[in-house]
């Protein structure tokens, strides 16, 4: 995979930024958040993935004002979530909702852990944001490819959507943790997912269209086989939606990225789609810069 150091912005059109490699025209050094792949899986399933930020990029939670004792785990509405993910914990870091200016729901990819997604809190760098990371049963939100027939991913897919829905509802209602009644409104909640988590984040947002603080899909897209009816109801009411993906991603077809962008445009979202030429299944600093700017805008 070519180094991100050799990318420069070539064009911006129709809400899509295309980054192309320019030999001999390197940019200043930029960090890459890489994804490590596990063994190949059958029937087109994405590999087990874990988000791996380089050691130099990872800082202790205390460096963003979050002490290690501020990491918590609890069962969201125990007994209310149906299916395989019903007994899964939520991990979170940062201030209580009473002291938070915004909240982020961080959804991990296949084979990863919720605790790993909390590392993105260090990349965002806001100590006034509450970070929530749900954990999938056995590290997988649904068993087959996101392009497979929807029924083949049940009951896991519906259970995963149910878990995200209950988490968002708990944040909006102020029922997180001790349930002290303090809340963060939906328009200050950012949904962010990587890989399988990015697919889940976009599918949840489309099925529950409303004004959110933002929706970010890092190497992800809407779930279902080609030709799936996208007859979602409601309106995103101008919600910023970011969809970033490499055009050489072996798991996320470019056509699905483009379809996802079109669907959210039809749902009245403010869509930013970025396709990175020559890049595979990974997260780039360019994408993290967008996330930081989005959080700056929502958290104030």
Predicted pLDDT of residue 60? 30
CATH number at residue 108: 3.40.50.1820
Which pair of structure tokens corresponds to residue 145?
A: 């490819």
Predicted pLDDT of residue 11? 26
CA distance from start to end of the chain: 36
**Average pLDDT, integer, range 229-234:** 96
- Is 28 part of any domain? no
Q: Are 87 and 255 in contact (CB under 8 A)?
A: no
Q: Are 104 and 158 in contact (CB under 8 A)?
A: no
Q: How confident is the model at residue 15 (pLDDT cuts 50, 70, 90)?
A: very low
- Is 278 part of any domain? yes
Predicted pLDDT of residue 52? 32
What are the Cα distances from residue 70, in Å, to 61, 96, 114, 197, 251?
9, 9, 15, 24, 35
Q: Answer whether residue 289 shows pLDDT above 70.
A: yes
Longest CA–CA span in the chain (Å) reads: 58
H helices of 153-195, where?
156-173
Closest CA to 221 of 272, 268, 263, 257: 257
- Is 30 part of any domain? no
Average of per-residue pLDDT values in the chain: 79
- Is 213 part of any domain? yes
Three-state secondary structure string covering 82-124: CCCCCCCEEEEECCCHHHCCEEEEEECCCCCCHHHHCCHHHHH
- Is 32 part of any domain? no
Burial of 34 (0-12, 13-18, 19+ CB in 10 A): middle
- Is 29 part of any domain? no
Q: How confident is the model at residue 87 (pLDDT cuts 50, 70, 90)?
A: confident
Counted domains in the chain: 1
Predicted pLDDT of residue 179? 57
Q: What is the pLDDT of residues 30-58, one digit of tens each?
A: 333 333 333 323 222 333 333 333 222 22
Q: How confident is the model at residue 182 (pLDDT cuts 50, 70, 90)?
A: confident
Q: What is the pLDDT of residues 143-170, one digit of tens each?
A: 999 999 999 999 999 999 999 999 999 9
Query: Torsions phi, psi of 186, nearest 5?
Result: -60, -35
**Average pLDDT, integer, range 10-15:** 29
In the DSSP assignment, the letter for residue 172 is: H
Q: Answer whether residue 66 shows pLDDT above 80.
A: no
Among 25-29, 124-128, 269-273, the minimum mean pLDDT is found in 25-29
What are the Cα distances from residue 194, in Å, to 104, 222, 234, 284?
13, 13, 25, 12
**Average pLDDT, integer, range 73-95:** 78
Task: Give me the sheet containing 32-37, strands edge to edge.
Answer: 49-52, 32-37, 283-284
Task: Name, of 6-10, 80-84, 139-143, the range with top average pLDDT.
Answer: 139-143
Task: Name the more confident of 211 and 123.
Answer: 211
H helices of the chain, where?
114-117, 120-124, 156-173, 196-207, 254-266, 285-299
Among 85-94, 133-142, 226-235, 270-279, the minimum mean pLDDT is found in 85-94
Considering Cα of 155, then 157, then 161, then 166, what sign does the dihedral take? Answer: positive
Look up the domain containing 242 and give its range. 4-23+37-299
> For helices 196-207 and 254-266, what crossing angle results, to 10°?
20
- Is 59 part of any domain? yes
**Average pLDDT, integer, range 225-244:** 97
In the DSSP assignment, the letter for residue 28 is: S
Q: What is the pLDDT of residues 132-148, one digit of tens each?
A: 999 999 999 999 999 99
d(CA 161, CA 167): 10
Q: Answer whether residue 270 shows pLDDT above 60.
A: yes
- Is 196 part of any domain? yes
Q: Answer whether residue 217 shows pLDDT above 90.
A: yes
Predicted pLDDT of residue 73? 61
Q: How confident is the model at residue 271 (pLDDT cuts 50, 70, 90)?
A: very high
SS3 277: coil
Predicted pLDDT of residue 161? 97
Q: Answer whether residue 295 shows pLDDT above 80.
A: yes
Closest CA to 20 of 289, 255, 278: 278
Predicted pLDDT of residue 82? 87
d(CA 298, CA 129): 10
Q: Are 264 and 271 in contact (CB under 8 A)?
A: yes
Predicted pLDDT of residue 23? 28
Predicted pLDDT of residue 176? 79
């Amino acid at each position: 995979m070519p180094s991100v150091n050799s990318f420069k912005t070539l064009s911006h059109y129709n809400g899509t930024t295309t980054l192309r490699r320019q030999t001999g025209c390197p940019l200043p050094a930029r960090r890459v958040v890489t994804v490590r792949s596990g063994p190949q899986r059958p029937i087109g399933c994405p590999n087990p993935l874990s988000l791996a930020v380089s050691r130099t990029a990872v800082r202790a939670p205390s460096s963003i004002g979050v002490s290690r004792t501020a990491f918590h785990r609890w069962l969201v509405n125990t007994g209310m979530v149906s299916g395989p993910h019903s007994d899964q914990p939520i991990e979170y870091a940062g201030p209580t909702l009473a002291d938070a200016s915004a909240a982020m729901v961080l959804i991990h990819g296949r084979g990863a852990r919720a605790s790993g997604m909390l590392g993105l809190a260090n990349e965002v760098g806001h100590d006034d944001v509450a970070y929530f990371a749900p954990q999938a049963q056995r590290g997988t939100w649904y068993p087959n490819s996101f392009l497979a027939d929807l029924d083949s991913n049940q009951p896991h897919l519906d259970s995963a959507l149910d878990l995200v829905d209950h988490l968002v509802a708990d944040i909006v209602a102020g029922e997180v943790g001790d349930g002290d009644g303090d809340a963060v409104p939906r328009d200050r909640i950012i949904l962010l997912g990587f890989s399988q988590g990015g697919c889940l984040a976009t599918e949840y947002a489309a099925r529950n269209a409303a004004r959110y603080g933002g929706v970010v899909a890092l190497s992800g897209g809407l779930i279902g086989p080609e030709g799936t009816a996208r007859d979602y109801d409601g309106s995103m009411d101008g919600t910023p939606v970011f969809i970033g993906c490499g055009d050489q991603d072996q798991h996320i077809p470019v056509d699905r990225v483009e379809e996802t962008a079109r669907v959210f445009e039809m749902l009245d979202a403010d869509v930013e789609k970025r396709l990175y030429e020559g890049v595979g299944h990974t997260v780039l600093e360019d994408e993290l810069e967008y996330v930081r700017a989005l959080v700056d805008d929502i958290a104030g």
